[in-house]
Amino acid sequence: MSLIDTSVAIDSLQYDEPRTGAVSVITLLELLRGVTEDKRAELKKHLEDYYPVIGIDNKLILEYCHLSHSLRASGETIPEADLIIAATAISRGLELESSDSHFVQLQSHGLKLRLAGASG
């Protein structure tokens, strides 16, 4: 199983090309914040019916803290939400499927990455 990043989930929804895998609770939040209030509950149910949603637990928290400290020490940056998504993948031993190239820098920190295209 892979972890589907927000960028890939958006493409999947826009082009009606379902992907198999799980999503982080952060991806769920990012998807839902971009939807109008009247459609949010329906989309939330649809996403939760289709994708297993991985929440935040102690293993993820510790991996996030480790990644954050390592990146700070080396002067690297990555958006916070994406750092949590990467920590989710690493802590679960999942490959992250994303089209955001900034995840490449996390491969040296243990992230298994499959780039689905080229953006951000």
Q: What is the DSSP string of 8-57?
A: HHHHHHHTT----SEEEHHHHHHHHHTS-HHHHHHHHHHHHHHS-EE---
Q: What is the pLDDT along the chain (120 residues), one digit of tens a residue?
A: 999 999 999 988 888 887 899 999 999 999 999 899 999 999 999 999 989 999 999 999 999 999 999 999 999 999 999 999 999 999 999 999 999 999 999 999 999 999 986 444
| Spans of all domains in the chain | 2-119
CATH code of the domain occupying 2-119: 3.40.50.1010
Which two three-digit tokens encode residue 9? 């989930």
Tell me how far apart the alpha carbons of residues 86 and 45 are, in angstroms, rounded to a whole number.
24
Which two three-digit tokens encode residue 35? 């939807």
pTM for this model (two decimals): 0.91
Query: Residue 22: beta bridge partners?
Result: 3
